[in-house]
Amino acid sequence: MDKPRILVKSLWLSIIMPLVLMACIEDPNTINTDFFNDESFEITYVDTMELVTSTIQFDCLQTSRTGRILFGYAEDETLGKLKSTGFFEVGLDATYALDEDVAVYDSITLYLEFDGYYYYDTLQEQVYTLYSLTDELEYDDETGFLYNTTFRELSPDRYLESEPLGSYNISPRPFRDDEVEFRISDALGRELIQLAYDGSEILSNAIEFSEYLKGFALVPDSLQSNSIIGFSTNSQLRIYYQDKSVIPTDQKYLTFSIGDEPYFSQIIYDRSDTRLSELFTLEEDLNSTVTDNEVYMQAGAGLGIKIRIPHISALIFAGDDFFINNAVLTLRPINHSYGTGTPLPENLIVYVIDEENEIIGGLENPVRLLEDIVLDRETRYEINVTPFINSQLDIDEFNENALLIMPPDSLFNSTVNRLFIGDSSHEYVMELTVLYISLVED
């Protein structure tokens, strides 16, 4: 990028820093004067350290218990096709019993409440098909979660009833509308209200109800690219009926909410026609040299950005008496990879991973997003990696520890936010700048 600017900054530090140090010493007796007779400071500014960058793939993500269910289908020119199907159960909100002579069935609907999250293009109309499940949703016995890979090999014969409960066209407007509601098969509605007429224990016992009504899958159509939308777990099944005990008759409804019942987002990706087609498991790294000097992060789909600094140990040759004053990693988002429907992620964190891409630690320093809202030329992320550099220098044996850039788990599991970053050879260059101070003998 702007190398002359960096050189000027380095020269400024070389001139100003010693003056600042001298100006701060009002009484030379406060520090042994022999110290200054024999030694002096040398300030070094390095911005040419090699960075090895790659994209890695997390195999499965916990997409249950997030407070959000993702629905939708989108085609990303760089990252491939992304499809999110929402699986959920509904539970009893109360004990239900109705008088058949008074309560007249009207309709059954699925009420979905937007939670404000969307990604990609919401201008396109979306088509969804609702199915009943043939099996209950069961959390993993060891972890207590469901994952984006659950039911990945989706077969209608195995997991879904053969006949859908209905297909619906939705024009999502997450910030204009709060909810969508559409009718589903009256056969299910009449079946459920008959249980209320009969005073069945199924509508008073949560376990029996769960065994009876196993759940639903809302499957997006994949004929055209649109958006991924977030719905809250306040969504519910509603059975409307006319109450004839009052004049005029009053419309009422029974509710069966998702609430704390099992749910998850099944997020499936297809990268067969992209540069990421060979990336499948966490043990693999896809080096940026084979992806046009770019690296990628995408929540929900499990992509993370890995950055390794192979020659940190070279700093040791500065001598024994030196310390890292500041080390900043600068990441520059690739222009035109973000916009209205694909905003830059504001919340990123940095993990430390080993050579097998297993997380072994993290950095507490926040990742700063600095946006150039006027010209959009200097938009960048800055990360203080001083603690990582120092910890690596303290390790005697060789290792391939690296930095992993991704959103917090709460967002990595419940969004599909993406980030495109250039590597150290890209126009939108990634840089590591290290300022260290060493003592030298006069």
Express each pLDDT in 27-42 by its tens digit: 433 334 454 455 677 7
Q: Do the Cβ atoms of 373 and 332 come closer than 8 Å? A: no
User: HSE-up of 319 (CA within 13 Å, CB side)?
Assistant: 12
Map out the domains of the chain as residue ranges.
3-13+31-58+277-441, 68-261
pLDDT of residue 174: 61
pLDDT of residue 23: 35
User: Nearest Cα to 82, choosing from 94, 97, 69, 71?
Assistant: 71
Read off the tokens for 191.
């079946």
pLDDT of residue 42: 77
| Whole-number average pLDDT of the chain | 87
pLDDT of residue 322: 72
pTM of the model: 0.86
Read off the tokens for 19.
């003056």
DSSP state of 51: -
DSSP state of 316: G
pLDDT mean values, one per 10 residues, the chain (442 residues): 35 39 37 51 80 94 96 96 96 97 97 93 89 92 90 63 89 74 96 98 96 95 92 96 94 96 95 93 92 97 96 68 87 94 96 95 92 90 95 87 96 97 96 85 62
Alpha-carbon distance 170 to 164, whole Å? Answer: 17
Model confidence pLDDT, tens digit, residues 150-171: 876 555 456 788 899 999 988 7
Question: What is the widest separation between alpha-carbon atoms in the chain?
Answer: 104
Q: Which residues, other chains included, contact 378 with Cβ-Cβ below 8 Å and sequence gap of 6+?
A: 370, 372
Alpha-carbon distance 50 to 68, whole Å? Answer: 40
pLDDT of residue 152: 67
